[in-house]
Amino acid sequence: MQAEILDTRVEGSTMCYLIKASLFDYINSLPENYQEYKIQRGIVSNIYLDSLINTVLKGSHIPPIVLTVSSTKENPPQCGTVNIAAFRILDGLQRTYRLHMIWKTIMLAKEQLSASRDILELNRYQMSKRYSKELTNINSSTKILFDIVQDFKQKRPSGDIEQSFKDNYQWFEVWYNLSPDEEVNKMLILNAGHKPVKIKHQLELIFLNILPVFENINIGRFHLVRERETSSIHYGKERSRGEFLFSHLISALLSFRVGQPVTTNSTLILKSQNEDFATEIDSKLLSYEFLVRYINSVLEIESSLLANYDIEGIKWIGREVVLSGIYGAIGKSIGIHNIHIENIDSAFEGAVDLLLTNIRRLNIHEFETERNSLDLAKVNIGTANKNAVFRGVLHVLSSRNSGGISWVEFFKGSTNE
């Protein structure tokens, strides 16, 4: 992307350039995988952004887009022009997605115009009937195509239909040499004034360094799901065996680390950001070997729940509160705060084996009955569920009693937080 440098800014070892480039150059420089940058959330619906076609055709201002460049060995000059060969989007993915969609619609109109001028005489209804399939394939709409054609027809009937992109200039902030942590922090700050980034997605961002480990674990039915790929409601209803949300696995691992269930909220995010996870035990828990052992245990517990409770068991372990409660109890039962680093593997596997042996004692049919009887006006349902699972599983791991546990006892004392 050829761009004009307007200003520069230095922050430590990083440089920021304010640049100016045409929408034409920007869109035609987009990497094919521009939507797949791991720290970005997915595309969200937004009625205001959906009307961006009006802004483009009028040549009006579009707020600056923030990019990051990490593949360069040296910074560009501080004035003149610069060629940005490869970049990722820190802020502006939603705008870029819609600009790209508009551009693809312009290309559709150009293709039709090159064959015939008939498209200039069609009304919206006729366009909808004729180009429905093509518009669906590029995630566009009849309105966008109609507006593009009308703009061309009225302003430049003998000119270039691409002119609205070639004449319109966009400002960009381009950051060079940001570390992965700095990229995450900037992305969160940039999104602070917009639709909030989901707490669970924020948690995923903090632990991006272990995402490749989870993605490369090839164990049986295991399938990792990102928060950006599905909503929690959809996941809860449609979840299949072996599917686990990345954020759920992180919160359960953090629960094991502290020996009690954690709550996924802004406090946890800040705490996780402020910790460097560089202690000996953290290095152990975040190692490839232990993470594989951890995922294996999750799948073993799920298989045992399926064998003993059928589909109800699959639904039960798919909840974040259940995973956090189970692994918080495992951490507590082995004395995670005091255990020697060399004994963690055997203690962990011993606790998991003990839970599998006593899986029938969990009596999760009664859990559901008791859970559904809670007065939602008096309790925080998430906290009540999580703490009940923690107490119940801890009882199973600590007691030699062979009978099924009574969830009534473990739901007692739940209060609103």
Cβ(20)–Cβ(170) below 8 Å: yes
Answer whether residue 130 is part of any domain.
yes
pLDDT value at position 39? 45
Q: Are residues 176 and 212 in the same domain?
A: no
pLDDT value at position 78? 66
Among 127, 153, 180, residue at a domain's last position: 180
Q: Are residues 160 and 218 in the same domain?
A: no
Q: What are phi and psi of 162, to 5 degrees?
A: -85, 0
Give the pLDDT band of residue 326 (cuts 50, 70, 90): very high
Q: What is the pLDDT of residues 376-403, one digit of tens each?
A: 767 778 888 889 999 999 999 998 777 8
Q: Are residues 49 and 131 in the same domain?
A: yes
pLDDT above 90 coverage of the chain, percent: 29
> What residues make up the domain containing 131?
2-180
Cβ(175)–Cβ(15) below 8 Å: yes
Answer whether residue 416 is part of any domain.
no
Number of domains in the chain: 2
Answer whether residue 156 is part of any domain.
yes
Residue that wins the pLDDT comparison between 416 and 61: 61
Answer whether residue 247 is part of any domain.
yes
pLDDT above 70 coverage of the chain, percent: 75
Q: Are residues 282 and 350 in the same domain?
A: yes
Give the end-to-end CA distance of the chain in Å, rounded to a whole number: 52
Structure tokens that stand for 89 in this block: 């989007």
Query: Using only C-alpha atoms, what is the Rg of the chain?
Result: 27
Q: What is the pLDDT of residues 96-120, one digit of tens each?
A: 989 999 999 999 999 998 888 888 8
pLDDT of 67 > 60? The answer is yes
Q: Are residues 213 and 173 in the same domain?
A: no
Among 145, 180, 215, residue at a domain's last position: 180
pLDDT of 208 > 80? The answer is no
pLDDT value at position 159? 73
pLDDT of 186 > 50? The answer is yes
Cβ(207)–Cβ(99) below 8 Å: no
pLDDT of 417 > 80? The answer is no
* Alpha-carbon span 91 to 344, nearest angstrom: 41
Cα angle: 404, vertex 406, 412; to 5 degrees: 160
Q: Are residues 173 and 244 in the same domain?
A: no
CA-closest candidate to residue 295, choices 337, 355, 246, 330: 246
Cα angle: 34, vertex 201, 254; to 5 degrees: 135
Q: Are residues 96 and 173 in the same domain?
A: yes
Give the least confident one: 7-11, 85-89, 144-148, 216-220.
Answer: 216-220
Q: Are residues 217 and 161 in the same domain?
A: no
Answer whether residue 129 is part of any domain.
yes
Average pLDDT, the chain: 80
Residue that wins the pLDDT comparison between 311 and 275: 311
Q: Are residues 89 and 209 in the same domain?
A: no
Among 134, 153, 180, residue at a domain's last position: 180
Answer whether residue 193 is part of any domain.
no
pLDDT value at position 70? 66
Q: Are residues 142 and 114 in the same domain?
A: yes
3-state secondary structure of 212: helix
Q: Where are the alpha helices (DSSP H) in 259-343?
A: 266-274, 280-285, 288-309, 311-317, 320-333
Block residue for tokens 């799920």? 302
Query: What does DSSP assign to residue 360?
Result: G
Answer whether residue 355 is part of any domain.
yes
Q: What pTM was computed for the model?
A: 0.53
- Mean pLDDT across the stretch 8-31? 89
Give the pLDDT band of residue 197 (cuts 50, 70, 90): very low
Q: Are residues 285 and 176 in the same domain?
A: no
- Mean pLDDT across the stretch 292-301? 90
CA-closest candidate to residue 165, choices 256, 104, 77: 104
Answer whether residue 190 is part of any domain.
no
Polymer length of the chain: 417
Q: What is the pLDDT of residues 247-258, one digit of tens each?
A: 888 889 889 988
Residue that wins the pLDDT comparison between 192 and 297: 297
CA-closest candidate to residue 8, choices 75, 71, 103: 75
3-state secondary structure of 145: helix
Q: Are residues 155 and 292 in the same domain?
A: no
